[in-house]
Amino acid sequence: MRKALATLALALALTLSFAVPSHAQTTYSSNTAFYCDMASGYPVTSFEQFSCRGITYKNTDVTTALEFFFQGGIPRNWVELYQTTPLVYGQGAVLEVTAFTLPNPLQPEPGVITTPGRFAFNWTMTDEAGGVHTGTVSGTWENFHVCGGRGCRWWAPELISNSITITK
């Protein structure tokens, strides 16, 4: 009887291990500079000043694989994602900023090497089909002085490198 129960328990454990869904991960990354929205008349000093819209990653055939948007700050923290294959679209929230450091020097100077700052956060969203997705975004950044016809008046975060990981 004990042997039969042990065999049954093993069979049940094996069956349950195959029933647990796997969590596929996809990571996209870029080393192409991306300029976020203008944030301030002074150099950017917090993640809450990040508003980065339309960051795209391409497939090997140069079609868009993923496009995402994010906004730092409470209560406006959000993330929006559009992935082509498999098709995933939805809006969600920045859950937690897990890393944020400032570039050094804070204000870039001609001829001076800047050490980029770092940022990272966790996010979650529910897609249009009701599927829940989570992930991380991380990268390096510098302050960018936006100049135009009336001089250099605004500062914006410039993403030097960034990556997004999507867990399904």
Return the pLDDT at 148: 86
Q: Would you state the pLDDT for residue 109?
A: 85
Would you say 67 and 52 are in contact if contact means Cβ atoms under 8 Å apart? Answer: no
Q: Rounded to 5 degrees, what angle do the CA atoms 39, 45, 50 make?
A: 45
Beta bridge partners of 28: 164
- How far is it, in rounded angstroms, from Cα 147 to Cα 138? 27
pLDDT at 106 (0 to 100) = 96
Helix (H) or strand (E) holding 9: helix 2-19
At residue 12, what is the residue type?
Answer: L
Q: List, for the chain, all residue ranges whose pLDDT scores fall below the cut of 70.
A: 1-23, 74-75
Q: Model's pTM, two decimal places?
A: 0.81
CB 107 within 8 A of CB 91: no
- pLDDT reported for residue 75: 61
